[in-house]
Each structure stands twice: as C-alpha cells, then as structure tokens.
Structure 1
C-alpha cells in the first residue's frame, strides 16, 4: 500500500485503539469453531472457465513476476535489494497468491517458484526465530501476515513442506511473544523504528490475517508445542490492534460520501477508511470472535458488510475507495487490491459464520468486479476501475482521492505496485473455497463454479458454465455415502429451482441461514443435476436516479466500443510517466489505454431490455473476459443525453427534466461487466416506448 505519510497522518487514530480490551470477552483454551471447515489446498481442482482464468494468470503477469519483477525477483526477502516501501510487502503479497495458483493448477513451473521462494526464506530464518530480511528496528509484523497465509496453504497442500513450515512458525511465535510483551515491539511504533509512525498501523488494522495463521497453527499443529503462548499472542495482538468494532458503530461509522466530510474527522479515522484495509477488515471481527467468544461480534460483522456496500459499494460488488472510501458516485474508483481482499474476506465469513449473504456477495465480486480490472490475457491490471468508465486512458484531471492520471488505464504497475503483486490471489482463493466440509462428513458446494473435490473416499465433480448458465451437473462417487449440499443463491427463484438425483426431481428445501439444500448421496456413482431458477432481469436502483442491470449473479453494463493503444511498461513513480528500461519486462507486458470509439452518454429504457444467448451450448470462449466474447448479451432502446464531466470523467447524469434525448432512439448493447472494459454500470433511464 502507499505510505500513510504520503497523504495524511494516522497519528490521531492512535486514540481509537485505546480501550479496545473492553470489547473482548476473555479468551479461553478453545477457539469458536468455524461453521464450515475449509478443505486443504489442492483438494479442490477448478475446471471449465475458472480453470481457464487460472491458467491465463499462470501464463500471464502473475506467473512471470518471479522471473523479472523487481519487487518479487529481487526482493530483500530473496536476498535482493528492491522494495517499493519500508514495509517490504511485495514478495509476501505475491507468495500469498502464487501458492494457491500453483497448487490449484498443479503447475510445475509455478510450483518450482513457490518452492524455491519458501526454501530460501525458511532456510534464512534468523536464530531468534524472525522470518524475513529485517533486523533490529527494521522489524514490523505486517509483511509476515500475507506471507504466513501462503505458508499455511502450502503446509496444507504439500506434506513435504508441512513439518518445516510448522516448525518455523512455532519458532517465530515464540519470538513474537517476547516482542509483544516488550511493549508491543514490531507492532506499535517506538522511537527509532525504521517503519514510520504512520506506516506501523497497517499491521494493527490488518492483524486478522496474522490471527488466521495463528488459529490454524493452534487447532491443527499444537501437539507438543506451547499452545498457551500462542493464545497469549492472539490476546496481545487483539488488544493492541486498531478496533474495527469501534468503527462499525452507528455513532462513528460515516454513511455519507467521505469527500463531503471535514478533514479532521476523516483523517482521524483513516485506517478504517482505506479501501484495502476495509476489504481485509470485513472479516476481522469474525476472526477475533474465534478467540474472544463474543457473539455480539456476529452482528457487528453483519453491519460492517452491509454498511460498506450500502454506503460505499458499487453494483458489481466492488468497494468504492480510491484509495480512501468515497460515496456512491459512478466516477469513484475501486482498487484491484481491494477487490481480491474483499473476495477473500467474504469467503472466509461464509466459512466462519455460515451466513449465505456473504457467499452471494463473494460471487458477485468474483464474477463482475474482478475480471473487468484485468486485460483478457491477464498480463495487465488496473489500479482502479470505475462503475462508469467509458475510457481508460491518461486523464487530464482526476476525480480520485489519491490516484494518479494513469490509475484507471491497464498496465504492469500503473499508479502503485501493490496491485501487481496482490492481484494473483483472487480466483485461486475463490477456487480453493468453492467446496467446504459440513459437519463430520458432509461436503457443501459453497461458492458455485466448475470444479471437483476429493475428500477421503468421496469425489464430487461439477461441470457448469455458471454464472453464465444456470445448470450444474455433478458426477459423484462415494464408498459409503454422505450428505452433499448445494448453495442456493439469494437471487434465485426458488419456486423454479430443482435438484434431480438420478431420475427423481424435487424442489429445493433451503436452510434459511446457510442457503444450503441437502442431498443424501448413496454409495457408488450418483448423477445430480442442479437447475437454478433464474428470475430474469432485475434492476437495482442506484444513486442519481440510475439503475444497474442484474441477471442472476452477473451485472450487465452498457458496452462502449474501443480502440486500444499500448506502450512498453512505465514505472509507477514520478506520476507514472517514465518508461521502464528496454528489456525489463517480457514482451507480453504492455501498458494499455482503451479509447472509446463511439458516444457513451446514453440513457436506456429498462422496459425494453432483452437477454440474448441463453440457449448457448458447449464450452465458453477463452479468453472469456474480452469485449464481445461472452455468448450472453442484452439489447435495449437508448438515446444520447446531455451529460457533463467531473474532473475529466463522466459526472453523475442529469436528473428530472434535464434528462432528455438529444438524438435518435437506437438499439444499445449490454454485456457482462467482466468483459466490458469500457462500460457504464449505473445507467440513467428514460421511457422511450
């Protein structure tokens, strides 16, 4: 992330953390169990369109950063000298995403990358237990948090690494205990620390990611170790954290556009307003609850998620924060880092709390907000994407809080490198959470998509084009039978949703909390067909008298035709205007601008919307998320309207009598958002028939 000191001071926020202990019940020697147990990385194998996306990522930017990208290949973590900040987070972010990508695909080239990286860091563990290149006052816990998540996944996936990872983490935990007891060394700022007084707070507001690893270590690998010491670490980390429960409070939480709020208020709350912090922090209180045994945090977590999207969310499932939370205007941006962290938090929340709304939100973000921010070949990414973005190019001025003029173009490291190293976790972690364990022996398809899972003697293989189609076909084999569950999305028409086992069809009987329908699977082979009742086009009312168009789990956007131009990659600093050296990046790595080749200022008549392509059969195209590639589309009647600009991008559209046609009524085309790189999501409406 960008240095806190580059824009505003977080020092006033220190007071927010005072009194945090009052929120937590005293922990004990057990952790609150998760509602659904995650399966070890590698047990789930994506297929179909989802496997295609992971393969594109593996063959694209994510899979080649280890070869050339300074903040990975030459990171101080691997004996180099390159970092984009004193926090040394670039390599840990990359590792956290590459581990699930490599093991989900069984990709030997990527496995070699993560093995060599893990071998180096584990082999360089310092005598006192520290993992990482820092010594003395350089040490700060934050960079370890994403790295440890990657180690946790690797230990689950690969028996060859389990023991060495577990031993290294226990050794680190002993050191951590002493540091925390020593006035929160490495966690809170002390005079002389190399990490600044502003930047030390990243770890305090993101500590839930450390706790996930510690809780895994405690529940899965505590035999023969000092579990009490690990619990002490959890206690001190929580009590020393910045307290999300204080922020998600009706008297504190800001429910309006933060750009209309006085600086003294927003500056004091900045740790909770930073977009990536919010994406990571949605799960924080559910993680804390496992230790604290405080069930009031369940309701606070629900408020956290609901308020975030109600007051600062896009229709696509993106959190609008460029780089700080904003409001609902369609010119605000959402950072790619925020998207992938939001997906991970929501999938964790469904596993932890079992509330089906979190799975619904996770799918929405995964199927809409994430793919639109990557080029179809996964070699370039945006820093931010906007709900209404009819061009993605170097802007003459920007509407953003802290994003440069290149931020919504596509490239290697446009605006800031964090999204380059952090984006790889998105679909791999989604795929790894598709199936979960329910109860002692049940298996649930929690996040819907194509893929298989093997648990003991039971195998489930799902073939589907979901969310681009509504039928999921399962081939199941079991030695002795088990309970299988499918999640019914909240948007589904349950009166039309059926499950067919063999030749027997039935309507679904859904658990109101989890959204699951149970199917008893006998021993032997079983075929199950799950048909989700699609209610058709659904309109979501958005700000400024606009609508967003939903069809199942997909958001459809007005697609703006484009012509693209590209250059060799540019460095993120100095405004993003300096080219990186010739030969630095592979030839496939380019910086792109998407220029609209038609008018964009349309209003539509929503009563004329028609869906096309629902009868397609066969495999989805690859690349799937390219303009015009998806077999699904919509048409509607529309016309151009007078629509002005705000800081170089489309303003909110006119309302009332000011909204009227200035041209002929024409047919306009809408596409699933993921492929519509130039798009309007929040659409003004007119009656045209």
Structure 2
C-alpha cells in the first residue's frame, strides 16, 4: 500500500509537468483501417481464414454464438465469457472490412450499436444484467480497439463513439482515483491497452480534455505493473520460469502474453513522460526476451509462462498473434508495429514479419478450421495429453481465448504494412508482401501503391506508384538481404542502400515503377545442445514429418470444426550436415500460389540437406527429447527436404548436426 500511495503522489507531480508538454510524437503514423488491402496470395490467405473458423464461429461456438452475440456485454466482467465476444469483435472488424464481407461488417456494426445503446448512465460499458460481478476495467479495452477501427473506416461514427469513450474515461478516472477501483491482477498487467486508447483520443479527438486524458494515463501506469522494472536485466528471467520466484512479486508479468503487453507499455509511457529511458528499456527488454526465450520461428516460448530455449517447450497461439500486431489472447493492441512506430528501430518489424510468415500459420491447419493452443519447434505428435489438452488442433484446445482471438493476426499485420512519416509527407512500406494502399499525403497529394509479388515465396517485388505530386517513398530492406538491388522505371539495377532499414525511392508526379530483388543467403542459428535451425530470408525451414490424422471430436452443429490428433508415420530422428544445405526454388508456372499455401508440400521453396538417422529418444509418447549433442549415425546417409516452417504441423525445426562423408 505504501508503494501505491507513493506512486499516486508521484503521478500527481507528473500531471503538473505533462500538462504543458503533451504527448511526444511518434516516428511514424499508421493509416486508417481500409487504406491498406491485401492482394494476391495474402488476400487468398485472408479469405481462407474468413471461410474457416474465424468467419463461422459466431454461428455455433458457445462463447460467441448468435444467442450471446447481443447479450454478451452483460458478461463483460468475466474474462472467460464476455471477453471472448469483445475479442472476436475486435478481430472481425478488420477481418470483415479487408475481406469485403458484408455479413461480418453488418454484424460488427450491430454489436457496436448494442454496446453503445446500452452504456450505463454512469459511463460503464456493458449493461451488467443479473450480475453482481465487480467492475474490472480491462474487459472493455478490446471493445475500444474495435470501435476505434470502425471509426477509422467509417468517420460518420466518430461523434457517437468518441462521446461514449469519454463517458467511460471520466468514470474510469474516478475509479482509479478511488484507491485503484477496477484494478485486479490482469488489469494491472494490461493497463497499456487503455493508455493507447487514451492516446488515440488525445491525438485525434482531444476536445479540450487533455488534462483528463494524461491524468488517466498516469493513474493507469502507477496502479499497474512497473514494466520498466520487469524488463531490467537484473530481474529478467534467463531460463524457464517454472520454478523461479518472481523477484518483483508480479507473478503475471512473466506470463507470455503479458510480456508482449509490457513491451508496448514502455513506448506508451514514453509518450507522456518524454523519458528516453522508457524507450531504452523497451529495446533492452525486447532483446532479453528473444535472447533467453526466442524461437527460430520468430516468436518466443511461453506455454503460459516464459519457457526458455528448449525446442520441446510450447508457444501459445494467442502469443503469436500478440507479438505480430502485437495482440494477444486477452489484450488487443499492437506491440511490434507500435514499437516501430514510436521508436523507429527496424528490428521490431523484421521480427514481426518472421512471426507472421512462420509461427502464425504453423499453429493452424491449412484450412484454418482447427488451431493449436501450444506450438513446438520440434513437434513429433499432436496428441491429447489430458491434462493438459493443448497440442491437438481443434476448436478449443485448453482455453477458448485463442479461438476468438486468432483472427486478428493476418488483418492487423496487413493494416500495419504501411506507415507515413510523422509529418505525413512520405509513405513507407514496412512489411513486404502483396498489398495495395491508397492515402492522401500532405499538400493534397493522393497516392496509390500496388505491390505485385509472391514474397516471402520469392525475392522479387514489383511496385507501381501513382501520385499527384512528387514525394519520397520508402520501402523496408530486411536485415537478412544480401546483395539486394533496385531498378527504378526500368533503369539499370543498382545496389540497395537503406538508411535505418528504409530504402528511399524518389517518386515524381504521375506513375513510378520499381523492382526490388532481395536475395538472402542460407543461414544457420545456434540452438541449445549444439543443435541448429535453418533460415533463408524471412522463412525458417523445418523437416515436415509425414502424419496420420485422427478425429477426436467433431462439432455437432458445424462438422468442419474438428479436434484432430496427428501422429508421425515416418522417421524424424535425423542429424543434418549444414554444409550440404541447398536452396530449391520451384516458382509456380502460373505465377499464382496454391491455396492455402501454408499446408504440407504446397510452398514453392524448399531446401535439401544430407542427413543420417540417429538415436533420439522421446519423452513419453508425445515429445522429442532435447536434440542429442554430437550424435553418431545409426544408418546410411540420405537426402531429406526442408520446407517453410509455417506449412508444417508436425516438424523438426532444430537439428543435431554431423559431418557427412
């Protein structure tokens, strides 16, 4: 309690200083929802998602069924029940708009109308019908993010949504000043979600409420987990946290999804403290997280809590989604993209791209009807291990949060693919892939950009820009590119020369075209026990283990929703000789990738490598033991094929090594 009182006192001092300085600007600004659209294979991937579980779960899934869709807000205080509905709402707003799905758009509008029509006279969101549950703040934050996206897409909603948000902000401010009312452990870790909503109001709709907004930001920070301490090196866990006491006492701060929350808390804090130390600690925390818990698939290990580097430890699907945008199972914000927009370091978007093109598709079946709860780098089976029920692919393995939350991954990756500079005079593409965007820069300069590519399944990107006036366009050159070139308007190819990860392209009034060739070398990453992981460009490569499929459960209302158990049908116990790795590119003759591209044998890229069978024990019947160090071959050498990790469901992604003869 002493710390709580002290922090509130300190926050009051901040309020006096910050009322004069306001919010620090971002390095880059996001574009409104709908300004950026996927094309080519990425649009197809979005349609696969929309035609799968994401677009149909409201029809039959208990937590978000049609009967609860309108009644859901009455459960808002329950993280298990009502929050599922607002999580799905926040995911399906961008999904519906980007997929041009009128039914989804109509449904999300109905939900928005319902919540706003039933806002309590005190400002509380949710009618609280027949419930005595306490008022916890966090369950409203996902709804706010969804509502903001709808305002971006349809400005006619602005007054209604902004008025409702301010009613809630006034109430929340009173609650926070009343001894932190509305704060419980989950809210303590996820206060930054509300801060980001408050900053949206401050940036676009301050309406004379600047002091209220900043004071509420401070109250949230100083009644919540101090992330600047959690990410301090002396307190940060360097191994799996199973048996570690948390030195700061904030047990939930080591929860994997909350870690993603904490990373965006620091740049959010910087905007109202103006302290460079907040940005420095965010960068340090990012590096510590991936140094001690990172995965070759781009994500980090957290089978609930941080899990170290071992290949058999899992990563929650919600965390994968969380780190892309970053959003998570129980929070809806944009960490990797947000960090980049505030700080401007390309390391954030480099990693987000790896996560999106590797870890995200690996945790769902190709048709997006079944999902895992936990994904492993080395996964030799996906079986019912009850308890826990985490590794099968299904409707609701373990917890429902990822069922309703996973649809955010692709849409929010897409909506953050382009940004403008802070003065809005230039446009930058930060995620590479097939996109089209339309926006108007300053000085009334309408711009359209079309990127024609099958990246990351090709090194080539062809971009066409039309603009009314000249400006400088920027495109990210990933850190893994070697000997990349750019050819502008059909001219001679020249070496790329990025500055802080961005290649400047001069654009004249009219039409400008350029071609990027972004080749990469095969690289290997050192992993525990002398094992290695294999990469080329943004893609991580793994051995796709042939498998059988067994239906464990089939939903009575929707037969496409199945729980599936996978088991290996071929040997997976191999060591590889990394010196024999060879890249194989079989581009589609039609120029069009198969649908869905993230399924076994469908990506056009692969690698071959010399391997030999080894003794590699299992742990129980489900997990591969740690890769054996310096193993002896137990049979003849052979050539095996590695394919993009995202298309595998059973896999070896971290290999023991040997030297071929």
Name the TM-score class by shorter chain: over 0.9
Aligned equivalent of 1:298: 279
> Once the two structures are superposed, what CA deviation does each residue of 1:20-58 show, in whole Å capped at 9, x if it has no partner?
577996533521111110000000011112111111111
Aligned equivalent of 1:150: 146
- Output the CA distance in 2 between the equivalents of 1:640 and 1:59: 41
Q: Which of 470, 490, 494 is the aligned partner of 1:506?
A: 494
- Cα shift at 1:499: 3.8
Aligned equivalent of 2:239: 256
TM-score by length of 1: 0.88
> Once the two structures are superposed, what CA deviation does each residue of 1:323-373 show, in whole Å capped at 9, x if it has no partner?
111110111000000011111111111111110000101001111010000
- Output the CA distance in 2 between the equivalents of 1:18 and 1:353: 31
Asked if 1:627 corresponds to 2:600, the answer is yes
- Output the CA distance in 1 between the equivalents of 2:216 and 2:115: 23
- Cα shift at 1:531: 1.5
- Output the CA distance in 2 between the equivalents of 1:202 and 1:422: 17
Aligned equivalent of 1:469: 458
Change in Cα spacing, 1:364 to 1:19, as seen in structure 2 (3 Å) is farther
- Output the CA distance in 2 between the equivalents of 1:408 and 1:492: 34
Contact 1:35 1:351 in 2 (8 A): yes
> Once the two structures are superposed, what CA deviation does each residue of 1:426-483 show, in whole Å capped at 9, x if it has no partner?
0100000001112332110011111111012110011111111111111111111221
Change in Cα spacing, 1:568 to 1:477, as seen in structure 2 (3 Å) is same
Q: Secondary structure at the match of 2:353?
A: helix
- Output the CA distance in 1 between the equivalents of 2:116 and 2:490: 51
Q: Secondary structure at the match of 1:283?
A: helix
Which structure 1 segments of 5+ residues have no match? 1-13, 188-199, 397-403, 570-579
Change in Cα spacing, 1:205 to 1:51, as seen in structure 2 (3 Å) is same
- Output the CA distance in 1 between the equivalents of 2:211 and 2:372: 44
Aligned equivalent of 1:555: 540
- Cα shift at 1:86: 5.7
Q: Which of 114, 127, 131 is the aligned partner of 2:125?
A: 131
Change in Cα spacing, 1:137 to 1:406, as seen in structure 2 (3 Å) is closer
- Cα shift at 1:136: 6.6
Q: Which of 320, 338, 347 is the aligned partner of 1:348?
A: 338
Contact 2:75 2:81 in 1 (8 A): no
- In angstroms, what is the RMSD of aligned CA positions? 2.1
- Cα shift at 1:160: 3.1
> Once the two structures are superposed, what CA deviation does each residue of 1:587-639 show, in whole Å capped at 9, x if it has no partner?
21111111111011111111111111255450111111111111111111111
Q: Which of 293, 303, 314 is the aligned partner of 1:333?
A: 314
Asked if 1:36 corresponds to 2:24, the answer is no
Contact 2:90 2:408 in 1 (8 A): yes
- Cα shift at 1:88: 3.2
Q: Which of 348, 352, 375 is the aligned partner of 1:385?
A: 375
Change in Cα spacing, 1:521 to 1:389, as seen in structure 2 (3 Å) is same
Change in Cα spacing, 1:615 to 1:63, as seen in structure 2 (3 Å) is closer
Count of matched residue positions in the alignment of Structure 1 and Structure 2: 635
Q: Secondary structure at the match of 1:517?
A: strand
Contact 1:17 1:241 in 2 (8 A): no
- Output the CA distance in 2 between the equivalents of 1:634 and 1:343: 26
Q: Which of 50, 60, 63 is the aligned partner of 1:71?
A: 63
- Output the CA distance in 1 between the equivalents of 2:596 and 2:3: 47
Q: Which of 44, 52, 62 is the aligned partner of 1:60?
A: 52
- Output the CA distance in 2 between the equivalents of 1:680 and 1:304: 29
Aligned equivalent of 2:443: none
Q: Which of 110, 117, 126 is the aligned partner of 1:116?
A: 110
Q: Secondary structure at the match of 2:237?
A: coil
Change in Cα spacing, 1:129 to 1:285, as seen in structure 2 (3 Å) is same
- Output the CA distance in 2 between the equivalents of 1:642 and 1:395: 24
Q: Secondary structure at the match of 1:89?
A: helix
- Output the CA distance in 2 between the equivalents of 1:410 and 1:15: 47
Contact 1:372 1:677 in 2 (8 A): yes
Contact 2:543 2:643 in 1 (8 A): yes
- Output the CA distance in 2 between the equivalents of 1:47 and 1:327: 37
Q: Which of 649, 656, 659 is the aligned partner of 2:623?
A: 649
Contact 1:547 1:685 in 2 (8 A): yes
Change in Cα spacing, 1:504 to 1:164, as seen in structure 2 (3 Å) is farther
- Output the CA distance in 1 between the equivalents of 2:7 and 2:659: 53
User: Superposition pairs for residues 85-124 of structure 1, below 5 Å?
Assistant: 85=79, 88-124=82-118
Change in Cα spacing, 1:268 to 1:235, as seen in structure 2 (3 Å) is closer
- Output the CA distance in 2 between the equivalents of 1:462 and 1:644: 47
- Output the CA distance in 1 between the equivalents of 2:268 and 2:282: 10
Change in Cα spacing, 1:136 to 1:593, as seen in structure 2 (3 Å) is closer
Aligned equivalent of 2:385: 395
Contact 2:26 2:342 in 1 (8 A): yes
- Output the CA distance in 1 between the equivalents of 2:81 and 2:345: 35
- Output the CA distance in 1 between the equivalents of 2:586 and 2:193: 41
- Output the CA distance in 1 between the equivalents of 2:466 and 2:430: 19
Q: Which of 457, 469, 487 is the aligned partner of 2:476?
A: 487
Asked if 1:277 corresponds to 2:258, the answer is yes
> Once the two structures are superposed, what CA deviation does each residue of 1:203-234 show, in whole Å capped at 9, x if it has no partner?
111111111111001110123x4222112111
Q: Which of 152, 160, 167 is the aligned partner of 2:163?
A: 167
- Output the CA distance in 2 between the equivalents of 1:440 and 1:41: 16
Contact 1:498 1:507 in 2 (8 A): yes
- Cα shift at 1:256: 2.0
Which structure 2 segments of 5+ residues have no match? 326-334, 441-445
Aligned equivalent of 1:3: none
- Output the CA distance in 2 between the equivalents of 1:75 and 1:258: 41
Deviates more, 1:27-36 or 1:634-643: 27-36
TM-score by length of 2: 0.92
- Output the CA distance in 2 between the equivalents of 1:75 and 1:321: 34
